[in-house]
């Protein structure tokens, strides 16, 4: 019987923990490294990992039925769109239910990963442990490194500037009550923060500013959760048909964005990641929030906008997205310039058979069930039950997919990882089925052999390929 490879999982957020379950189900040895003291990643309020941060009023914007893991449904008594507290409890319960905590190294993130000449990886943890692994699964998330406009707007602003990543509530990290505030951006965070600050007794004035318009989608339409209604369309439905149906629903149920003071979107529905908010249009219609075009320049406490108007402003919140980063890899080995990292089904890097990514996409829906399937898929691969296509075939599929996405979506760093929930899951399932057929015709040799275990207990290979006697260390694991 072939010995299974040892795997390093990076991150115990919503993607990492479901990967751990899949590995455990197949008996694959693994360690999961987590910088914080508990699971949950971005959904853990006041996370002590130094990276994750969510605002106090955060709610999910995908219906709970579409967000839950298929192996562990959310309680029926959960609200349609609960806030972060029950969601975090759900992740904790998931880990306890499946007994995953024993393999998670808390308060011990990954500091460095060095690929070795024999295909293994030497992982150095933040506590100084050095352990060899046969494979690495990256699930470190992509909402922790704030992205700022480059270049920044000209001039000097005398007020306070923060990124939405640092926003907690109207009093933290800066005092916004009674202030004149600009919220820059048209994504979900910008909508949520604008709505919160525009409530009576909070900010004095709230301005919403952006470079372009967006289609704002309510959580409920015709009395039903809108994202639940999309389940009626089968996977593979042509995009033009989805666009027509979706556009018709918005036209009838919501109306024109211009009627609420927003700019007319420069794209059709479905050609950019949607902005979801049940409240923003009402606040705009009431005058609690005023839209302004993009900032043109700063002048002390005054901000000039592209339409020539000026406003005296106390604070600005940049809701301008995030950069995709892998600080544990050398940039020349793995990086994502402008958030672009070509992957086969957003999971496999064609030229590396033992490095994988989970949750590295921006879905029209929730990440969790997709990450759950990726975990199951990887477990089948690592146990020899699934075989990848050839490298040229994977590269061709990646190129075809990216060409299709570029044609559909507005050019933006935000859309380099865009996937449609139903279609993405459907085609992953289809590929897994095809790969199992390929594996059944072979000798089912493990694609990633077990080497790390013997290196750890015997001789340590240096990065230049030479073998060196392994030095004894209190931090080395045997």
Predicted pLDDT of residue 470: 32
Predicted pLDDT of residue 261: 93
pLDDT tens digits, one per residue of 338-358: 999 999 999 999 999 999 999
Predicted pLDDT of residue 74: 97
Q: Which residues contact 296 (CB under 8 A, 6 or more apart)?
A: 153, 304, 305, 306
Predicted pLDDT of residue 130: 96
Predicted pLDDT of residue 412: 63
Lowest mean pLDDT among 27-41, 95-109, 210-224, 302-316: 210-224
- CATH number for the region 148-318 comes to 3.50.50.60
Confidence label for 413 from pLDDT (cuts 50, 70 and 90):
low
Q: Which residues contact 312 (CB under 8 A, 6 or more apart)?
A: 180, 301, 302, 303
- The rounded distance, in Å, linking the Cα atoms of 200 and 186 is 22
Predicted pLDDT of residue 1: 72
Predicted pLDDT of residue 118: 95
Determine the average pLDDT of the residues in 176-183.
98
Residue 312 · residue 181 · CB < 8 Å:
no
Predicted pLDDT of residue 477: 30
Determine the average pLDDT of the residues in 27-51.
96
Confidence label for 475 from pLDDT (cuts 50, 70 and 90):
very low
Q: Which CATH number fits domain 7-144+322-454: 3.30.700.30, 3.50.50.60, 3.60.130.10, 1.20.210.10?
A: 3.50.50.60
Confidence label for 363 from pLDDT (cuts 50, 70 and 90):
confident
Determine the average pLDDT of the residues in 96-120.
97
Confidence label for 366 from pLDDT (cuts 50, 70 and 90):
confident
Confidence label for 237 from pLDDT (cuts 50, 70 and 90):
confident
Report whether pLDDT(116) > 60.
Answer: yes
Residue 334 · residue 248 · CB < 8 Å:
no
If one compares 397 and 422, the residue with the highest pLDDT of the two is 397
Predicted pLDDT of residue 411: 65
Fold match, 7-144+322-454 / 148-318: yes
Report the alpha-carbon angle 172-175-179, nearest 5: 140
Determine the average pLDDT of the residues in 62-67.
92
Determine the average pLDDT of the residues in 438-467.
70
Report whether pLDDT(89) > 60.
Answer: yes
Report whether pLDDT(460) > 60.
Answer: no
Determine the average pLDDT of the residues in 201-228.
91
Confidence label for 407 from pLDDT (cuts 50, 70 and 90):
confident
Residue 332 · residue 363 · CB < 8 Å:
no
SS3 205: strand
Predicted pLDDT of residue 319: 96
- The rounded distance, in Å, linking the Cα atoms of 37 and 47 is 8
Q: What burial letters (b/e) apply to 125-149, b meaning 16+ CB within 10 Å?
A: beeebbbbbbbbbbbbbbbbebbee
Percent of the chain at pLDDT exceeding 90: 73
pLDDT tens digits, one per residue of 376-390: 999 999 999 999 999
Predicted pLDDT of residue 153: 95
Residue-range domain boundaries for the chain: 7-144+322-454, 148-318
């Amino acid at each position: 019987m072939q010995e299974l490879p040892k795997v390093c999982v990076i991150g115990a957020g919503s993607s990492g923990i479901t990967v751990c379950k899949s590995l455990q189900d197949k008996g694959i040895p693994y360690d999961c490294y987590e910088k914080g003291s508990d699971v949950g990643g971005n959904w853990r309020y006041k996370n002590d990992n130094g990276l994750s941060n969510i605002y106090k009023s955060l709610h999910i914007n995908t219906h709970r039925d579409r967000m839950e893991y298929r192996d562990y449904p959310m309680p029926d008594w959960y609200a349609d769109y609960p806030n972060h507290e029950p969601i975090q409890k759900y992740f904790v319960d998931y880990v306890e239910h499946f007994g995953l905590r024993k393999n998670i190294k808390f308060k011990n993130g990954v500091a460095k990963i060095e690929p070795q000449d024999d295909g293994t990886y030497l992982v150095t943890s933040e506590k100084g442990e050095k352990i060899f692994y046969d494979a690495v699964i990256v699930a470190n998330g992509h909402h922790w490194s704030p992205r700022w406009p480059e270049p920044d707007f000209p001039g000097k602003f005398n007020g306070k500037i923060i990124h939405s990543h640092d926003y907690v509530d109207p009093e933290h990290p800066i005092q916004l009550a009674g202030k004149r505030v600009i919220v820059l951006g048209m994504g979900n965070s910008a909508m949520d923060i604008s709505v919160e600050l525009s409530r009576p007794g909070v900010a004095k004035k709230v301005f919403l500013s952006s470079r372009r318009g967006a289609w704002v989608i309510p959580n409920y339409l015709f009395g039903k959760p809108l994202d639940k209604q999309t389940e009626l369309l089968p996977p593979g439905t042509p995009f033009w048909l989805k666009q027509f149906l979706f556009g018709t629903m918005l036209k009838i149920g919501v109306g024109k964005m211009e009627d609420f003071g927003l700019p007319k979107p420069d794209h059709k529905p479905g050609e950019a990641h949607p902005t979801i908010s049940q409240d923003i249009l009402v606040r705009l219609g009431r005058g609690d929030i005023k839209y302004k075009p993009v900032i043109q320049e700063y002048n002390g406490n005054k901000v000039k906008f592209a339409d020539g108007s000026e406003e005296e402003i106390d604070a600005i919140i940049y809701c301008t997205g995030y950069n995709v980063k892998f600080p544990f890899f050398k940039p020349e080995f793995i990086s994502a310039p402008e958030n672009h990292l070509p992957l086969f089904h957003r999971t496999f890097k064609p030229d590396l058979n033992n490095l994988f990514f989970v949750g590295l996409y921006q879905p029209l829906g929730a990440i969790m069930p997709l990450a759950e399937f990726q975990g199951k898929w990887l477990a089948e691969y690592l146990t020899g039950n699934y075989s990848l296509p050839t490298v040229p075939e994977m590269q061709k599929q990646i190129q075809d997919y990216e060409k299709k996405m570029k044609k559909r979506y507005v050019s933006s760093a935000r859309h380099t990882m865009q996937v449609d929930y139903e279609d993405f899951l459907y085609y992953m399932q289809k590929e897994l089925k095809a790969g199992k057929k390929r594996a059944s015709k072979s000798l089912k040799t493990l694609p990633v052999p077990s080497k790390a275990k013997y290196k750890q207990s015997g001789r340590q290979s240096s990065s230049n390929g030479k073998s060196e006697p392994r030095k004894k260390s209190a931090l080395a694991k045997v």
